[in-house]
């Protein structure tokens, strides 16, 4: 059998495996793995919860690099999962893991990354890859056109460049609209990634930018979704510039976090996670006033029977 036939046979087998997984999805989620470069090796799959990474399972691949992981009740909500291989610290691959999907992760390379990895039978990951490629292509064109405007300061060619820049701005807006209207978790994940490159990228430049970022923190972030994205720490950490000392919103961190926490009512564990992250930040930044605000709020709020169990409040 020639090489092409072998490849087609392998792809067919992977499709069959995925279809069988879909048929039996009522039994719980199963992730199928096909990593030909890691035959006989172990693969660790973890899920992201706030700043924590929880182990979903350790899979030993067979002599062909195939394996599977049955999740059962471990993954009840869609979120970001991470694939790592013990002993290969450089290998870290993120993907969306949804309880409604039974995906097959395929990679024939030594380095598992978005450029050489495919997740079959996964609308979440297929959409995420398409959106990232769309945005990346537009940003690359945007960068090239910006350089060209420096070379061509007048004339018809510059006029064409300006028109193309306007078309790219429209396309980026269309992408943002697509993300906003999509019900997929992948869209929420990408929105948080994009926010760090746009609305939060210039916080330090002026109070107007701080006000814009503060409004985003208070009005746009859904912490009950952010918790599962793997973006909890980077996004919150980026936002800290909003409350920088001697700036417009200094000493309002505690009040703003309390406002955000009032919206978290369906998942107490996320309420606790935000409280603990915020308390840790106040201690790290020596924001005593903000810590007092948070402590007072937590003691007055009725969501937790015993707020003193929150890390950082046990000695209060």
Residue 126, Cα to own-chain centre: how many angstroms?
15
pLDDT at res. 312? 59
pLDDT at res. 306? 67
Q: Are 45 and 108 found together in one domain?
A: yes
Q: What is the pLDDT of residues 35-58, one digit of tens each?
A: 999 999 999 999 999 999 999 999
Cα 75 to Cα 55, 79, 122, 250, distances in angstroms: 11, 8, 15, 39
Q: Following DSSP, what letter does each residue of 15-84 receive, concatenated?
A: HHHHHHHHHTGGG-EEEEEEEGGGTT-EEEEEEEETTEEEEEEEEE--TTSEEEEEEETS--S-EEEEEE
Domain enclosing residue 134, as ranges = 122-198
Q: Are 252 and 181 found together in one domain?
A: no
pLDDT at res. 307? 66
In sequence order, what are the residues at sequence separation of 6 or more whose Cβ sits closer than 8 angstroms to the Cβ of residue 57? 44, 45, 69, 70, 71, 74
Q: Are 52 and 102 found together in one domain?
A: yes
Nearest CA among 42, 41, 38, 18 for reference residue 30: 18
Please state whether beta strands 104-107 and 29-35 pair in parallel, antiparallel, or not at all (unpaired): parallel
CATH number at residue 71: 2.60.40
Number of structural domains (the chain) is 3
Q: Of the candidates 90, 121, 152, which is a domain's last residue?
A: 121
* Longest CA pairwise span in the chain (Å): 73
Q: Are 33 and 96 found together in one domain?
A: yes
Q: What is the pLDDT of residues 205-227, one digit of tens each?
A: 999 999 999 999 999 999 999 99
Q: Are 58 and 103 found together in one domain?
A: yes
pTM: 0.86
Q: Are 94 and 140 found together in one domain?
A: no
Q: Are 191 and 134 found together in one domain?
A: yes
Q: Are 186 and 223 found together in one domain?
A: no
In this structure, the number of other CB atoms found within 10 A of the CB of residue 291 comes to: 22
Cα Rg of the chain, angstroms = 23
pLDDT at res. 308? 61
Q: Are 241 and 184 found together in one domain?
A: no
pLDDT at res. 25? 39
Q: Are 126 and 116 found together in one domain?
A: no
Q: Are 282 and 227 found together in one domain?
A: yes
C-alpha dihedral, 280 to 283 to 288 to 290, nearest 10°: -20
**pLDDT digits (tens), the chain, 316 positions:** 454 444 455 544 544 444 444 433 334 489 999 999 999 999 999 999 999 999 999 999 999 999 999 876 677 899 999 999 999 878 999 999 999 999 999 999 999 999 999 999 999 999 999 999 999 999 999 999 999 988 888 888 999 999 999 999 999 999 999 999 999 999 999 999 999 999 999 999 999 999 999 999 999 999 999 999 999 999 999 999 999 999 999 999 999 999 999 999 889 999 999 999 999 999 999 999 999 999 999 989 977 766 666 755 655 5
Q: Are 11 and 114 found together in one domain?
A: yes
By the 8 A CB rule, do 290 and 258 touch? Answer: no
Q: Of the candidates 170, 198, 226, which is a domain's last residue?
A: 198
Q: Of the candidates 95, 121, 147, which is a domain's last residue?
A: 121
């Amino acid at each position: 059998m020639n090489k092409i036939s072998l490849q087609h046979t392998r792809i067919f087998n992977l499709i069959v495996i995925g279809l069988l997984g879909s048929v039996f999805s009522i039994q719980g989620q199963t992730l199928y793995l096909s990593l030909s470069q890691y035959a006989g090796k172990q693969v660790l799959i973890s899920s992201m919860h706030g700043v924590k990474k929880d182990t979903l399972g350790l899979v030993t691949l067979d002599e062909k690099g195939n394996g599977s992981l049955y999740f059962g009740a471990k993954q009840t909500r869609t979120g970001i999962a991470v694939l790592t291989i013990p002993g290969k610290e450089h290998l870290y691959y993120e993907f969306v893991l949804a309880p409604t999907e039974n995906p097959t992760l395929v990679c024939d390379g030594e380095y598992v990354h978005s450029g050489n990895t495919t997740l079959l039978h996964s609308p979440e990951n297929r959409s995420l890859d398409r959106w990232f490629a769309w945005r990346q292509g537009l940003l690359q064109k945007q960068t090239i056109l910006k350089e060209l405007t420096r070379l061509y300061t007048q004339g018809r060619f510059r006029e064409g460049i300006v028109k193309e820049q306007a078309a790219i701005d429209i396309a980026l807006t269309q992408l943002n609209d697509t993300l906003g209207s999509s019900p997929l978790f992948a869209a929420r994940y990408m929105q948080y990634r994009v926010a760090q490159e746009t609305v939060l990228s210039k916080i330090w430049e002026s109070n107007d930018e701080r006000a814009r970022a503060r409004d985003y923190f208070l009005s746009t972030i859904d912490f009950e979704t952010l918790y599962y994205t793997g973006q909890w720490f980077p996004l919150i950490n980026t936002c800290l510039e909003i409350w920088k000392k001697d700036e417009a919103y200094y000493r309002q961190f505690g009040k703003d976090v309390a406002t955000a926490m009032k919206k978290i009512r369906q998942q107490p564990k996320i309420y606790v996670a935000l409280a603990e992250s915020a308390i840790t930040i106040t201690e790290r930044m020596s924001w005593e006033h903000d810590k007092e605000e948070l402590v007072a709020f937590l003691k007055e709020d009725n969501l937790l029977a015993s707020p003193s169990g929150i890390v950082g409040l046990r000695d209060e």
